[in-house]
Amino acid sequence: MNYKLWKDVRRRELDPLLFSKTARELAEKIGKDGKDKKNKQVKNKNSQVRRYFDEVVRLNTIAQEGDEEDMKFRVLPQLHMLISKVAYAKGRNLITPSFEEMIKAGIEQVKDSEDLQVFTNFLESFMGFYKVYGPK
């Protein structure tokens, strides 16, 4: 499921449903995709999902405390490296393609520290819903 952080990027207008409906729907899908036929969570376990959320939060902190130079030369490369880390986890059958797609789609929309703040907030909302729809 693709999603957009901004309803209108030029005007910096957020999608009003990003932190509610979109985050809930993705949490529900990713939670369901990680379960086997016996409804046991075998992929997208909390430790895996939390690992990527924590890394985005860490990078967001660096971006918010620094300037756009930090964002461009320190944060963005590390953020984009998360795409390969998620691909590696998928290759090891730890996460599902839907989780990989969600992370990749968000990262690809981040161009500056404001975008990263929105992506971080989105993941925070996702994590809240994931507690309901993910592993029990």
What is the chain's Cα-based Rg? 15
Vertex 12: Cα angle to 73 and 65 (nearest 5): 35
pLDDT in tens, 100-135: 999 999 999 999 999 999 999 999 999 999 999 988
Residue 110 DSSP one-character state: -
pLDDT in tens, 18-75: 999 999 999 999 999 999 999 899 999 999 999 999 999 999 999 999 998 999 999 9
CB count within 10 Å of CB 129 equals 20
Beta bridge partner(s), residue 13: 8
Q: Which amino acid is at 55?
A: E
**Where do the domains of the chain lie?**
45-136
